[in-house]
Structure 1
């Protein structure tokens, strides 16, 4: 695993069996599944996420064969190791099928040791919601995580490649369409990245039209805590009410899109 990620983990990343046994599953808490064969890499990712998503459940496993142990909990994100595989590989397709069969609503992200643009592009085409390479700075990776949890798509590799390609003069219409979509993703990233993970959770539920009571139940929060997060969201967006929150977020994303380089 790239030292950029490992070096940012404070303390011992080797979790003992006794420590793992103390990690209790909160029945109604949102859950992240990390599927990674390497113990060090898997534990490193979990450590990062534990620091970012306080109060969440984390289930780490070597392969998709252990997915059934996560049944019955609210899985909000699945991080799957690409493990050097091609996106079209039977192994990866089988893993994705196994995940989708059990957790059809959970966004899937890929953890990759490469920044290959073609792989990233293919990943998005098959429905992957986030492509995280181990060369990403920690703050960017965590901001991308917040974006995915809020319902967006994160793939900086594809964004950079397509944006650079806009300066050419002979692009095909399909390439232009892909460029426009990538810039939309960039605008969404810029609009959502400033929110904390919990604020992003609340915002995602708010965009689905959920009431405070429903949001509190789904996120295992108190009604007071939900109101506090909503107040922070409204202050950041300079909004007066829930409807204006959604409207202003869309407006900011549109403004970021207009400001993007052509």
Structure 2
């Protein structure tokens, strides 16, 4: 059987499921659903280091989801497997997940960076879009962002401006809802912030750590912290997680929203 539990800290109290596999009692859990054994194993090995003490459940399909019932599931990562967001197969997988874990955030693993697909995924409630082209540190930062209650869609950060570069490749498929989402992206990136603060905020929305933001923007760590303090003050947030929450609230309310 390819599907398995991965348990950490083997000296701690464990329980077994009906198949005899083991997991740590009451430990937070992440489920990875990926049809490729190699890709699935690679993700698990990466998360073993990042989420020490967590249970990791890797499955080849949603058909094995019942094995995770009763676990403290905090996140489910599902392989897009080249499917469109509107495909019946993906909809069936999402329905199977939400039927068992209705409150758990779902992220997609994708081989493409297509902003149209990412935008569609965001509209149906997906909380993160992780493409195979992402650097590992960015992907891990995005994972932490979703676990903290945020959303991670780096493909959408430049969507609003990229749509006006003269390319009409996807224009027939763009509807009013998608255009509205672009406008919200512009608003969240620019309203009330200085240009440099907007740059830092964009990287923060992408899930970047302070060190990564400093490197990408050619700033010192101290300067990044200063900009983050200004951003938090303007959003009346106490930490990075609250910044994400404020942005989510304001995105839902649209450009006319005012700070709470």
The two structures have a TM-score, normalised by structure 2, of 0.63
Q: Aligned residue for 2:150?
A: 152
Contact kept? 1:188, 1:253, Cα under 8 Å:
no
- Inter-partner Cα distance in structure 2 for 1:135 and 1:193: 15
Aligned to 1:179: 182
Does the Cα contact within 8 Å between 1:36 and 1:80 map onto a contact in 2? Answer: yes
Question: Residues 175 and 54 from structure 1, CA distance in 2 versus in 1: closer, same or farther, beyond 3 angstroms?
Answer: same
Deviation string, structure 1 residues 37-62 (Cα, Å, up to 9, x no partner): 11000000111111111111100010
Report 1:1-262 matches (<5 A). 24-165=22-163, 177-182=180-185, 184=188, 187=201, 190=204, 193-194=208-209, 245=238, 249-250=242-243
- Post-superposition CA distance 1:86-138 (Å, at most 9, x none): 11111110000000000011100000111112111111111111011101111
Structure 1: which 5+ residue stretches go unaligned?
Answer: 1-14, 196-235, 258-262
C-alpha change, 1:246 and 1:115, in structure 2 (3 Å) is closer
Structure 2 distance, partners of 1:248, 1:85, is 31
Paired with 2:89 and 2:177, the residues of 1 have a C-alpha distance of 29
Name the structure where helix makes up a greater proportion of residues. Answer: 1
2: distance between equivalents of 1:61 and 1:173? Answer: 37
Aligned-residue offset at 1:176: 5.5
Higher relative contact order (CA closer than 8 Å, sequence separation 6+): 1
Distance 1:247 1:94 in 2: 34
Number of residue pairs aligned between Structure 1 and Structure 2: 197
| Conserved 8 A contact 2:107-2:128 | yes
Cα gap change, 1:161 to 1:90, in 2 (>3 Å): same
Paired with 2:73 and 2:31, the residues of 1 have a C-alpha distance of 7
The CA deviation at 1:182 is: 3.1
Q: Is the 8 A contact 2:78 2:109 kept in 1?
A: yes
What is aligned with 2:215? none
Q: Are the structure 2 counterparts of residues 83 and 165 from structure 1 closer, same or farther at C-alpha, using a change threshold of 3 Å?
A: same
- Are the equivalent residues in 1 in contact too, given 2:145–2:151 (CA < 8 A)? yes
- Structure 1 segments of 4 or more deviating over 6 A? 19-23, 236-239, 251-254
